[in-house]
Amino acid sequence: MRLWDERARGHPALAGSRLRVVGQGLLSQRIADHLVPTLVHSFALTAAVIFVAFFLVFRSGAARLLAMIPSVFAVLVMFLVMRLFSIPLNVATILVATTVLGATENDQIHFFWHLQERRRPGRTHEALAHAIRVAGSAIFFATVVNAGGFLALALADLPPMRQFGMLTATAFALSMLADFTALPAALWIVYRDRPFPRPPAPHAGDGEPG
């Protein structure tokens, strides 16, 4: 704009003209300026609702925080993918974060519910084995159904809808992967249990059996 004003002052024929920036780049920038605050507010509201729900179901501070690890991991990876492949934030892709966060937390509720059934101090590995054995199949097949439903949007004619469908389906798969890897690992760290406790060491002076 400054260069245009300088040129207009030097050329009387341009004095009555005005410069107006248009194009796809400007439109994308303005959309992003409005969508980013919306994304932050919706994500924060969804996270708050989930936090309260976990507070009512599981009165454990660790459970409330660890339950969001798979979902947050999937959302962060999706934003990284969008950055690497230059996928813009639009009216469709902005829904990925809240959709994934809201839908995948159902898996964590089932996981933690069955975890609490066998939770005992020093027996975290038994509780995790029980939770995975009981809820693992349900989490897997629920993820397949959800991811398959959103993956169908890859056939849409509208590019934003295709991007939304593929990103969301991939995020569901990543969240399930974290359910069976990062979440159990974090629980072992928080509960300070060894994955497989070592047998007690023999006392000094104990002789070998004759």
pLDDT in tens, 101-126: 888 888 888 888 888 888 776 677 88
Could you please report the per-residue DSSP string of 125-163? HHHHHHHHHHHHHHHHHHHHHHHHHHHGGGG-SSHHHHH
Length of the chain: 210
Report the pLDDT value the prediction gives residue 16, as an integer from 0 to 100: 63
The pTM for the full model equals: 0.70
Of 106, 143, 111, 141, nearest to 129 by C-alpha is 111
Angle at Cα 6 formed by Cα 4 and Cα 12, nearest 5°? 90
Two structure tokens written together for 93: 């892709």
Residues near 100 by beta carbon (within 8 Å), at least 6 away in sequence = 71, 74, 75, 78, 168, 171, 172, 175
pLDDT per residue as tens digits for the range 157-197: 988 889 999 999 999 999 999 999 988 888 887 777 666 55
Tell me which CATH code domain 28-191 carries: 1.20.1640.10
Query: What number of other Cβ atoms are within 10 A of residue 200's Cβ?
Result: 6
Query: DSSP letter at 93?
Result: G
- Average pLDDT over the chain, rounded to an integer: 78
Q: Please classify residue 2 by burial: count the beta carbons closer than 10 Å to its beta carbon, then call 0-12 exposed, 13-18 middle and 19+ buried.
A: exposed
CA-CA distances (angstroms) from residue 71 to 46, 80, 110, 172? 12, 14, 14, 8
Report the pLDDT value the prediction gives residue 170, as an integer from 0 to 100: 93
Report the pLDDT value the prediction gives residue 13, as an integer from 0 to 100: 61
